[in-house]
Amino acid sequence: MEHTEVYTQKLTRGKRSYFFDIKQTEQKDFYIKITESKPSNNGFEHHRVMVFEEDIENFMSSFSQVIIN
């Protein structure tokens, strides 16, 4: 199952890198993949969150509320 990368943005702070990727599925649905990458004893450690198109608006609203407070 191949997903097309539509857009990517990288942010590096210290030893951590954050990737913000917009992807599109074969069914033409969009989603955001947020990845944290940091060095570990075994190479790199990755943590990922995927937010699907139908949830993006609610996700951003909740995320904004967290930042404001």
Average pLDDT per consecutive 10 residues, the chain (69 residues; last block may be shorter)? 90 97 94 96 95 95 93
Fold of the 4-68 domain: Nuclear Transport Factor 2; Chain: A, (3.10.450)
Looking up tokens 């539509």 gives 6
Q: What is the dihedral of CA 22, 26, 27, 29, to 10 degrees?
A: 0
Instruction: Please state, as a whole number, how many other Cβ atoms lie within 10 Å of the Cβ of residue 32.
Output: 19
Cα distance between residue 10 and residue 44, in whole Å: 16
pTM, to two decimals: 0.84
What pLDDT is stored for residue 2 in this prediction? 76
So what's the pLDDT on residue 1?
A: 63
What per-residue confidence (pLDDT) applies to 69?
Answer: 82
Where in the chain are the domains? 4-68
d(CA 54, CA 52): 6
